[in-house]
A = this chain, B = another copy of it.
């Protein structure tokens, strides 16, 4: 924004499940790390072996490591809550682990999943992250943005659940390829066109968000709180 010295501290991208951080923020992350910014990723859940199979759980973890390496992530934090079962844990448990992480790394900028996403895990992670960031004292995350996730954000109920209409655009013309490479590293998660989780859909979204602000490619976000 207008005060150029603001929000230069650590950035934290919170993903309910591995690859959400790439789908929503990959190009922006790459641009930030290229400038030397410290970017953390928090994966809120991990697939339970009994549900997803031990192999898949390990595979996804390795894919995330590769993707985060491509993006230049400073550190990845696995919270190990139960994937697709967040609603069975006490809300307070997620609040506490996120608050602990936010405080430990001194996160100044947050990127969160959208509360209107169709996946209940996304909704719960959003709310807990907001609780973890309450401005109840002098220090707290001063900038909070919500990102969109293909295969989640567009699949909820139009006009009956909160809409995603971006008011913040980051030019990723120079880092789109890095984003696509990072997503490709999640080989077990990429789907063939015309699925929403395809490279084609991801590229189309970047082109559209870019065109809206006359750029070759962009990521769109909703600003939730910015303090200067």
A145 to B185: give the CA distance in the assembly, Å.
Answer: 38
Q: Mark A129-159, 1 if CB is under 8 A from B, else 0.
A: 0110011111010010010001100111111
Q: What is the interface residue range for chain A against chain B?
A: 35 or more
Residues of B within 8 A of A171 (CB): 227-228
A186 to B2: give the CA distance in the assembly, Å.
Answer: 27
A90 to B143: give the CA distance in the assembly, Å.
Answer: 33
On A, residues with C-beta under 8 Å from B are 1-8, 11, 28, 31-32, 35, 37, 84-85, 87-88, 90-92, 109, 114-116, 118-120, 126-127, 130-131, 134-138, 140, 143, 146, 150-151, 154-163, 165-171, 191, 193-196, 198, 200-201, 203-205, 207-208, 210-216, 218, 222-228
Known contacts A109-B2, A201-B207, A208-B204; is-contact A116 B160 (Cβ 8 Å): yes
A213 to B225: give the CA distance in the assembly, Å.
Answer: 9
Binding site of A, secondary structure by majority: helix, strand, loop or mixed? loop
Residues of B within 8 A of A109 (CB): 1-2
**A127 with B120: CB separation less than 8 A:** yes
Q: Which of B11, B35, B161, B195 contacts A136 (CB 8 A)?
A: B195
Residues of B within 8 A of A195 (CB): 136-137, 211, 214
**B224 with A158: CB separation less than 8 A:** yes
**A194 with B211: CB separation less than 8 A:** yes
* Nearest B-chain residue to A153, judged by Cβ: B212
**A160 with B135: CB separation less than 8 A:** no
**A131 with B118: CB separation less than 8 A:** yes
**A143 with B1: CB separation less than 8 A:** yes
Residues of B within 8 A of A222 (CB): 158-160
